[in-house]
Structure 1
């Protein structure tokens, strides 16, 4: 009897071990890198996505999020993704322009009529085409995240393009961003986001441009006391996944991941609006003055940019303008 019991125990133990091992082998862990802190709305949206993916795939797909640029800057993370060391990266259209020219359309100043037009473009055929356009670069986009409108901030008021003349303005490493600041009379200075606080503090750059939550949460409101709401661009954040990681999943899990990403994008709209209100109030309490300028001189100054576009991007711009 004891011998039989011992054999049975061994068989059950072995079966459990094999089952656990098979389960472990079946589980896919996707590493996601982004450069914001845990309080940022986009981190909260992606956390909700990871929770949904784990539940809907019954643990077959797990997304592990690394915030605060733990795994490198956005550009470094994109390179790691292309090398297969990362699976998912939260980047933005400005950074992605270097990998797929279609993203440059999002970086053009004053292209979108309003926030609803911006959303309609992303959620329609044009937006999906842009997400797919980077497949030859080893990744595709899953969804867009609202990142508000980008505006200038500095240690002095900027009421018109004249006030930008001679200023060293930090920009993302995007040809479109560089061209825009040049058209407005500033000196564009590409710089990694993580280096910007010190650069502003020490006068390496005089000004920068970003949305209100990033301006506040990054601490830039401590060293730049004037933000001009010229709202020159609406550059979305973009969640991208390597084609290697995406194609390795079953069609069912691909659909779940895509759907969860879209759900998180909708959640992000609400989180973003709340964050924008909260962070503006916080910045104002820190002594920041928000300026509402006449946008007309800014809009007129950047029009030559549209004359320099390639035929392909001009056609894409026309598609975007045609979206209702």
Structure 2
């Protein structure tokens, strides 16, 4: 009987100890969560470039770093470099459907969602320097465009910041000495919209080729020329093909890229999470721009070392050709006042 009583007491003591241990662990778990406990968040961030040296990747890695550090690990950012799609239209669709949370896209693909006002930032020669571009996008005009994006998308898209993909130039099978040299050139560029209309006016023939297939397209003569910024086409070795070795610095597009978050998801985040994401976005804007500006000169020199030939051209005839198109597009999208403001800021 004594042995039985001793065993019963031991079982009771162990049971009580077990309950106390569980209660203690639960309490420790709540305390160790610290700031944002119970508010852990995973962000899927994506862009369409695959090179680890690309400014997009550098900017996204900065977004990840700052978001995770600022939130003390409560926010986890998963960066996808081309792995969720190399087509920007795919990324826009994934953002809208919630399969991605933060993406980087260009005006051309954003306008396909029905936000035509965005086209203004993509018009040839709308900007004439990085200084001009920064004054526009970082000022009141940039704020107005952000509001338009949010309202017209019905909060599907919220702008986190303006990135750039560099200043775009012509590169092809021959150098350009004048606008007329583009006559009949099969030119890899947008094949619809205002940008395509502009190049048609120069005499070029806009021709579709997927970015991932462009090296082969230049090599095999599918296209005679293309246009992009140094860090992008040099990283892909386009300048090493027969139809990409002559670079003429047309400077026709100081590019704008939109860092977007799913607006509906963003509104459901806590105030702390929103603050951390905005802090990360601001840091990524600065990091991406710095990386791009540094790489512009770096990759220009690399292209020349590889045997590419670079020449300058009088841009004034190109600019004069673009102005009527700028006027027409601004009128169609009812942003004539904004266009006038942008021109006055040069």
Length-normalised TM-score, structure 1: 0.91
Q: Which residue number corresponds to residue 200 of structure 1?
A: 218
Q: Which residue number corresponds to residue 341 of structure 2?
A: 319
Residues 196, 206 of structure 2: 8 Å contact kept? yes
Q: Which residue number corresponds to residue 226 of structure 1?
A: 246
Match of 1:8 among 20, 23, 34: 20
- Stretch of structure 1 that moved more, 304-313 or 78-87: 304-313
The C-alpha deviation readout for 1:26-49, integer Å capped at 9, x for no partner, is 211111111122111221122112
Q: Distance in 1 between matches of 2:192 and 2:287?
A: 28
Q: Which residue number corresponds to residue 4 of structure 2?
A: none
Q: Distance in 1 between matches of 2:196 and 2:249?
A: 19
Q: Secondary structure at the match of 1:110?
A: coil
- List aligned pairs for 1:143-222, cutoff 5 A: 143-172=161-190, 175-222=193-240
Query: Cα 1:17–1:255, aligned 2, differ >3 Å: closer, same or farther?
Result: closer
RMSD: 2.4
- Structure 1, unpaired ranges of 5+: none
Spell out structure 1 runs of 4+ moving beyond 6 A. Answer: 17-24
How far has the Cα of 1:174 moved from its partner? Answer: 5.5
Q: Secondary structure at the match of 2:98?
A: coil
Match of 1:96 among 99, 106, 110: 110
How far has the Cα of 1:3 moved from its partner? Answer: 4.7
The C-alpha deviation readout for 1:141-167, integer Å capped at 9, x for no partner, is 111113221111112212222111111
Q: Distance in 2 between matches of 1:202 and 1:310?
A: 38
- Structure 2, unpaired ranges of 5+: 1-12
Length-normalised TM-score, structure 2: 0.85
Q: Distance in 2 between matches of 1:196 and 1:289?
A: 19
Instruction: Confirm whether residue 286 of structure 1 aligns to residue 306 of structure 2.
Output: yes
Q: Distance in 2 between matches of 1:245 and 1:196?
A: 36
Q: Secondary structure at the match of 1:196?
A: helix
How far has the Cα of 1:168 moved from its partner? Answer: 1.5
How far has the Cα of 1:82 moved from its partner? Answer: 1.0
How many positions carry a matched residue from both structures? 324
Instruction: Confirm whether residue 114 of structure 1 aligns to residue 132 of structure 2.
Output: no
Residues 103, 261 of structure 2: 8 Å contact kept? yes
Instruction: Confirm whether residue 303 of structure 1 aligns to residue 323 of structure 2.
Output: yes
Q: Distance in 2 between matches of 1:75 and 1:230?
A: 27
